[in-house]
Amino acid sequence: AQKVTQAQTEISVVEKEDVTLDCVYETRDTTYYLFWYKQPPSGELVFLIRRNSFDEQNEISGRYSWNFQKSTSSFNFTITASQVVDSAVYFCALKDYGQNFVFGPGTRLSVLP
Amino acid sequence: DVKVTQSSRYLVKRTGEKVFLECVQDMDHENMFWYRQDPGLGLRLIYFSYDVKMKEKGDIPEGYSVSREKKERFSLILESASTNQTSMYLCASSLGSTFEPQHFGDGTRLSIL
């Protein structure tokens, strides 16, 4: 069965610190996609990245980077030099064939000034 | 940019009322979804639709129904609202392809008194 685990319920950091949000997934399919979404206090989930199961290259977008490791079934998200505007709930999600999206429970990140 | 619009940000209703939550998307997406979000539980899928007049049950359909008379509009109906349906409701849409990301509305925070 599909499952997404985000073991960190809440994280607090001070501005400019680096922070990594963990995501571990389970699926029997060999073809699947992983996603990260950000939910700021305003409520709307904002799509950040999609990664397919055949592409294990790390990705960097500005201060954001993602580390995908199939060997450990993990898709971790790192924010470098965090800012107050990064404060949000972050969701990891999994999509494989024939199933709907499965979301993790989310990690609430608080970046303190 | 995709725009998913939910009719209300906040809604207060009474037990036993019939409640309608409306969602409209402007990007001609085939797929539309309704989730509820509760602390610690992440997003749980209530219903989804892959085409006009088509609907499928998600993980927690009990107490809800949906309507999709037009491609751009997907309505969630609480037939007889109960206090355990107090939650944040999120609507999403996506293109027809299996692995396209979902795009979300701002959410409706519904309180049932």
Q: What is the pLDDT of residues B19-32, one digit of tens each?
A: 999 999 998 999 99
Shortest CA distance from B50: residue in chain A: A100
B72: tokens are: 């751009």
* pLDDT, averaged across chain B: 93
Q: What pLDDT sits at residue B1?
A: 67
Cβ-contact A101, A2 below 8 angstroms: no
Cβ-contact B78, B70 below 8 angstroms: no
pLDDT in tens, A14-53: 999 999 999 999 999 889 999 999 999 888 899 999 999 9
More confident residue, B34 or A42: B34
Q: What pLDDT sits at residue B98?
A: 72
The CA-based angle B62-B68-B74, given to 5 degrees, is 75
- CB distance from B105 to chain A under 8 Å? yes
Cβ-nearest to B99 among A33, A37, A103: A33
